[in-house]
Amino acid sequence: MPRWLLCLLVAMIAATAGYLLARGTAAGPADGGTALAPADEPAPTAPRPVADTGVVLRAASPPPLPPTLLDSTSVDVDEDGVAERIELYTAAERDRAGRIMWDDGQRWLLIVRDGETAYPLFDGYIQLGRLTYWVVEAEAGPPTVLVQEQTGAGIRTRGLVHDPAVGGFVPAQVLEVPGNVVHASSPVF
């Protein structure tokens, strides 16, 4: 994928996430905005940042790999001067012609390999959905791995950064949009 297209995709995702966050955060009536809903009446469709503090994804033995590698890239996500390998797998197998034989749901695995160690950023079953990821190098700070889990029941995007002080990846930001997904464009696998 051309770098400019990847940059455009990341910019579109960031703009959409910013819009959804802004839409889900209403100002109080004192500054002319609309009042927030009372605590006992949450807006079920409003996107909301989810606090994931305390969660550290540490190095572990690589789990059993699903049969199909969908995507991989090399990026220095821990800023040690050596690129790590990020790999996205699915349990959906390929037919003889190389086409993926998708099912209603399958196991997905996203790992970061740093030499012989592996950091499982996602390892789970997704029903009627998919997993995608992006790596974003900010002007300051370590690169962020954006992991998006899309299901028929909503979308969850987590930003993960490597923190050498805790020896693993920690959440940088989480955006969760609950609700029925009525359309999602398909990535090319």
| pLDDT < 70: residue spans in the chain | 1-56, 180-189
pLDDT at position 188? 57
**97 lies in some domain:** yes
Can you give the residue range of the structural domain that contains 119? 47-178
**12 lies in some domain:** no
pLDDT at position 182? 65
pLDDT at position 184? 65
**25 lies in some domain:** no
Task: Give the strand order in the sheet containing 117-127.
Answer: 68-75, 84-90, 105-114, 117-127
**41 lies in some domain:** no
**3 lies in some domain:** no
Question: Which residue, among 147, 138, 79, has the nearest Cα to 114 in the 3D structure?
Answer: 79
pLDDT at position 64? 84
pLDDT at position 101? 93
**168 lies in some domain:** yes
CATH code of residue 157: 2.40.128
Q: Are 137 and 143 in contact (CB under 8 A)?
A: yes
pLDDT at position 173? 78
Question: Which residue, among 53, 50, 43, 52, has the nearest Cα to 23 in the 3D structure?
Answer: 43
pLDDT at position 99? 92
- Residue 39 is given by DSSP the state T
Q: Please tell me the total count of domains within the chain.
A: 1
Q: How far apart are CA 129 and CA 111, in angstroms?
A: 19
Please write the tens of the pLDDT for every residue from 46-69.
444 344 445 667 777 777 889 999
Question: In b/e form, how buried is each residue of 94-108, taking b as 16+ CB within 10 angstroms?
Answer: eeeeeeeeeeeebbb
**52 lies in some domain:** yes
**66 lies in some domain:** yes
